Amino acid sequence: MPNSILVLAIAAVLTASAAFWALRAYRRAGGQNARAALGACGAVAVLALGGYLVIGNPDMPDGAYEARLQALKGRDLSSFTVDEALAILHEAARDNPNDPLPHFYTGQLLLDQGRAEEAARAYDMALRRDPANAQAMLGMGRALVSVEGGRVSPEALALFQQAGEVSNEPAPWIYQAMAAMESGREADARRLWGEALTRMTEDDPRREMARRMSTGEGAN
């Protein structure tokens, strides 16, 4: 049972992360009513992170790590400060040197706090331990975009391209389309928006924007 709960918690935070940043791209591109969705994503991320901190890593032995987490079990998850969460994740990374998750979650928290350079380093540590982690690739790419003031650098673009190869999410393609738009490659941008559109669910709020961009309507 603990393993199943942890899997669900990890899935929730990864889903929330992808939705949060993809919807951020949507909002910047002119989307409507994104604030409520972003708030919901943030709430899920906090709950998922709290679940990971409370449950712990099922592959590690009981001991000091579990004892430290006991102090958090009686607290409201929303009461965690960023510094508390970062401190616990730091301890988890130290106790589990081969586990990419503490580094990944650290990157998520730092990026949400606007500490993009630190977030990029955390994502890099996660990728060193799990090079095929598409969410870590996306996170690091977004961190690099933030460092560049919104520009999709060649290094960030390479990460989004890699993520697109191992993930069926639309977000990597959205960022690739943004890079094509920045460089004036209109035909490539339309094609990449189309790739993103094919990966969106029917109720995805970004579908209309992606459709317009893929047909060239959004460029007017």
Taking the C-alpha atoms of residue 26 and residue 213, their distance in angstroms, rounded to an integer, is: 11
Contact between 88 and 101 (Cβ < 8 Å): no
Question: Between 179 and 51, where is the model more confident?
Answer: 179
Contact between 180 and 189 (Cβ < 8 Å): yes
Residue 131 has a pLDDT of 94
Q: CA distances (Å), 122 to each of 8, 59, 105, 111, 148, in order?
A: 22, 22, 8, 10, 17
- CA-wise closest residue to 48 among 125, 127, 135, 118: 135
- CA-wise closest residue to 163 among 191, 130, 204, 210: 130
Taking the C-alpha atoms of residue 6 and residue 51, their distance in angstroms, rounded to an integer, is: 7
Q: Which two tokens stand for residue 179?
A: 């890079």
Residue appearing with tokens 């199943």: 4
Lowest model confidence (mean pLDDT) among 37-41, 116-120, 129-133: 37-41
Q: What string of DSSP letters covers 142-207? A: HHHHHHTTT---HHHHHHHHHHHHH---SHHHHHHHHHHHHTT-HHHHHHHHHHHHHTS-TT-TTH
Phi/psi class of residue 63: alpha, beta or left (left: φ > 0; alpha: ψ in -120 to 50)?
left
Residue 70 has a pLDDT of 62
What pLDDT digit, counting tens, does each position of 169-207 carry?
A: 999 999 999 999 999 999 999 999 999 999 999 999 999
Residue 217 has a pLDDT of 79
Question: Between 124 and 73, where is the model more confident?
Answer: 124
Q: Exposure of 122 by Cβ count < 10 A (0-12 exposed, 13-18 middle, 19+ buried)?
A: buried
Q: Which two tokens stand for residue 181?
A: 């738009």
What pLDDT digit, counting tens, does each position of 134-172 carry?
A: 999 999 999 999 999 999 999 999 999 999 999 899 999
Contact between 141 and 168 (Cβ < 8 Å): no
pTM value?
A: 0.64
Residue 91 has a pLDDT of 80
Residue 79 has a pLDDT of 74
Residue 119 has a pLDDT of 96
What pLDDT digit, counting tens, does each position of 63-111 carry?
A: 454 555 566 555 665 677 888 788 778 888 988 899 999 999 999 999 9
Residue 30 has a pLDDT of 47
Question: What φ, ψ does residue 44 adopt, rounded to 5°?
Answer: -65, -40
Q: Which two tokens stand for residue 184?
A: 């004036």
Q: How many CA atoms lie within 13 A of 164 on its CB side?
A: 21
Residue 40 has a pLDDT of 44
Residue 213 has a pLDDT of 93
Domains, the chain, ranges and CATH?
Answer: 2-219 (1.25.40.10)
